Amino acid sequence: MTPVRIDTAPVTLPAMAPGLLGRIVYRLFPVRRRVLLDNLRIVYGEDAPPGRLRALAEAFYGHLARSLLECAMLPWLSARKKASLVRIENGGAVAEAAERRKGILILTGHFGNWEVAPLFGLARLPLYRGRFHFVRRPIRARWVERLVTRRFHAAGIHVIPKKGSLERILERLAAGDIVVFILDQHAAPKDGVEVEFFGRKASTLRSLAVIALATGAPVVPAACFREPGGGHVLRFEDPLPPVDAEDPDEAIRTRTLQYNRALEQLILQHPEQWLWIHRRWKEESHRKRSRRRNRLAAQGKLT
């Protein structure tokens, strides 16, 4: 991966061909469409061409629908078909990080089909079977949580519940295992630090930076994405260079900013395959709603 980008230069809005499925879902099942479009404008600018914004939104909905269908079809796929679903890119980055003998921290987010690609991609790293541990919050729907957890365990992947996870994370790193952090969602104020994400302040989990600083474990960015032919890729980037500061709080802030920059680069490679419907910039959303209320009040349209 190229060195972390510290500037906040505008990014280019790509031209997308969303396909029929994306157009249908956009029109008929627009889950959190307003959140999606607001987030796209934050990243690509308020003056981004509306037609291109809509095409990217439609491409995202098409990707999301395909991901759900893939999850539903898993029980009916043969073992041979499952084994061919995902290929690994740059798996050597994991081996390089393992040579430091401090465990490995994986930095990732909701990319591609994040429920399918890890299940079958990590099987292509047999030396690490049973040594991947995902730190995650339980899904609210208990039956979905049971299903997802059962699939992870069957693939030799462990799940560490986020609440009260520190001791177990440190134990696994000391054993040389790999701990995966999903860092692309809004963090509650008590858990987060505000750093820029695509040029806007966003509360981001501080735990990855804290653990990396305390243990010296290397941080390896990773993402999955769907290829045009329908297969999936699980790609690892080279370990991020350590970024330190004398003040502990500043060191946490600087490293968390570095992680957000790495996530930005991964998102921009396949923008239609990131989870845009999450309220990543909650403070920004609150400000927008406040400005809208003030504007309506000034026009006498708010009672």
Model confidence over 148-188: pLDDT tens digits?
888 899 889 999 998 889 999 999 999 999 999 999 999 99
Q: For residue 104, is pLDDT > 70?
A: yes
Using CA atoms, how far apart are residues 202 and 211, in angstroms rounded to an integer?
20
Residue 41 · residue 80 · CB < 8 Å? no
Query: Which of 45-49, 225-229, 237-241, 298-302 bottoms out in mean pLDDT, i.e. has the lowest?
Result: 298-302
Using CA atoms, how far apart are residues 76 and 83, in angstroms rounded to an integer?
13
Helix (H) or strand (E) holding 194: strand 192-197
Q: How confident is the model at residue 285 (pLDDT cuts 50, 70, 90)?
A: very low
Buried b (16+ CB within 10 A) or exposed e, 94-115: bebbbeeebbbbbbbbbbbbbb
Q: Decide which of 150 and 232 is more confident.
A: 232
Q: Is the pTM of this model over 0.75?
A: yes
Phi/psi of residue 253, each to 5°?
-65, -45
Q: How confident is the model at residue 298 (pLDDT cuts 50, 70, 90)?
A: low
CB-CB neighbours of 25 under 10 Å: 22
276 to each of 59, 106, 272, how far by Cα in Å? 11, 21, 8
Average pLDDT over residues 107-136: 93
Using CA atoms, how far apart are residues 134 and 177, in angstroms rounded to an integer?
11
Residue 106 · residue 223 · CB < 8 Å? no
Cα-based torsion angle of the residue sequence 248, 164, 189, 32 in order, rounded to the nearest 10 degrees:
130
Using CA atoms, how far apart are residues 102 and 95, in angstroms rounded to an integer?
12
Q: For residue 129, is pLDDT > 50?
A: yes
Average pLDDT over residues 77-83: 88
Q: For residue 288, is pLDDT > 60?
A: no
DSSP structural state of residue 274: B
Model confidence over 203-221: pLDDT tens digits?
999 999 999 999 999 999 9
Q: For residue 233, is pLDDT > 60?
A: yes
Average pLDDT over residues 243-258: 94
What burial class does residue 60 get, using C-beta atoms within 10 Å of its C-beta: 0-12 exposed, 13-18 middle, 19+ buried?
buried
